[in-house]
Chain A
Amino acid sequence: MRHVNEGYIVCRCEEVTGKQLEDAYLLGAITSRQLKMKTRATMGACQGRVCRQLVNLWLSKKDQCADKGVEPLSYRTPIRLVTFGELAGEE
């Protein structure tokens, strides 16, 4: 990963850069769950659909056997963005 510009954005929704992942990793966030909690990568509006693979790939390059989590960065309902009003059944 050394040649890659550290400022490149891994997660667009939360504007998380490779540098931020790197910093969090050095501070001990060595699993995908810890990286997510520390940097908010994958927690944005698209819920990681755009960036999850990138984050996991980044982590694999760091550490082949890094824990991608028994509880992976999975989708949680609702999958499509709905408003509180739609959920409540109001229009």
Chain B
Amino acid sequence: MTTESADVVIIGGGIIGMATAYYLAKLGSDVVVVEKGEIAGGTSSKCDGNILAIDKEPGFDSQMSLESQKLVSQLVMELDEEFEYRAPGSILVCESDEEMEAAEMWVNRQKEVGLPFRMLDRGEIRSEWKYMADDIHGGLECATDSTVNPVLLTYSMAVTAERLGARLKTHTWVTGIRLDPSGAVEGVETSSGLIRTKHVVNAAGVWSKPIAQMVGIEIPVEPRKGHILVSSRTESIGTRKVMEFSYLMSKFGKERKVDQLTEQYGVALVFEPTASQNFLIGSSREFVGFDMKINVDVIRCIARRAIRFFPVMKDIPVLRSYCGLRPWTPDHLPIVSRVEEVPGFYIAAGHEGDGISLAAITGKVMSECITGQETTISIEPLHYNRFKKEAGKR
């Protein structure tokens, strides 16, 4: 057992922790990352790599995504290794006239705030997507959406942070957080000894709740499981992201028109071509605790949904499947926040299905917050207090 010290200790070597480490190291902080497994061994390697604005509410949500998109395009130049970055835009497709009307409202609201959205008619969809089912009514496009390989991006931030002086301790568990008599952070206890520090960032994704409990703080982060299927290599079906519009219908107070299992497993089409000539098909959304087993009923349902949009997939082999746990919060926004009650304790967790999209902006504002600078975007809406107030109201 040894004792060392650092300006900042980051708990969690996922994409959020590594982004925070990178931006802090860039500002000259002495950073240690403590990770119980391997870098990117958690949710950040069991996901897609979409960096999306297309499904975000205009306003704070979309601003946060767009800022992050900008930062990721800069990371292409800044980081030491490449991470399969592309910005081909993304599209949502509609199954009915009702969805087309809602899509039009969505596009108009986004255009009002100056975002590069547009409607696509049946003909445009047909000409871009020769394998799409005939009865798709049309869709919409967000021209700037981008995509990365999330594992390579996490590795690349880790390697660059290390070059800038960050220390990465893998296979090391955080077992406790030590507070001084005034209640401020003074150290982090790990399976390989104490690290003295005045700043700790809880970037433990779905495991952030027990970390917060170590300092007596309750945060409502819960695992929301998702499955993904990987195809074998095939002739190209498409070169960018396609999702179905119907999962946005709830934003318009309308119900999705799908069968019971699709509803129950929260299955919606996400098609993502990869840099290795195959494609990923998602996805499901379920609250089933920390169960990481593949549920065959769910992947069957995902396969049915994929074939509904791309009938040719019927004959394409599935290479493998995997699942991951999204760190869900009740209002679908992450917690990126200092904790006033415990000076020196910070939270950067709860990014649900947007952790890859929001990693860069999260790391940037965390680094600014910890070093006492003005943040690139306001993080007031992401303060952990919002859940405390809610609990008080009930």
Contacts and interface: CB of A to CB of B under 8 A. Distances in A.
Interface of A: 27-29, 31, 33-34, 37-38, 40, 43, 45, 47, 67, 69-71, 76-78, 81-85, 87-90
Contact of A83 (B38, B304, B315): B315
How many interface residues does chain B have, given as a range?
35 or more
B276 A40 contact: yes
Contacts of B320: 47, 76-78
B41 interface: yes
A82 B38 contact: no
Given A77-B294, A82-B317, A37 B155 contact: yes
Contacts of A77: 294, 296, 299, 320-321
Given A37-B155, A67-B38, 14 more contacts: A34-B39, A37-B152, A40-B276, A43-B276, A47-B319, A67-B171, A69-B38, A71-B37, A76-B322, A77-B294, A77-B296, A83-B314, A83-B316, A88-B314
A87 B37 contact: no
Interface of B: 37-41, 45, 81, 151-152, 155, 159, 171, 229, 231-233, 276, 281, 294, 296, 299-300, 303-304, 306-307, 313-322
A90 B231 CA distance: 17
8 contacts: A76-B294, A77-B321, A81-B317, A84-B231, A87-B300, A87-B318, A88-B307, A90-B307
B318 A82 contact: yes
Nearest to B308: A88
Contacts of B314: 83-85, 88, 90
Contacts of B294: 76-77
Nearest to A75: B320
A42 to B, nearest CB: 11
B267 to A, nearest CB: 12
B318 A81 contact: yes
A81 to B, nearest CB: 5
A82 B98 CA distance: 35
Contacts of B171: 67
Given A37-B152, A67-B38, A85 B313 contact: yes
Contacts of A84: 229, 231, 281, 303, 306-307, 313-318
B318 A88 contact: no
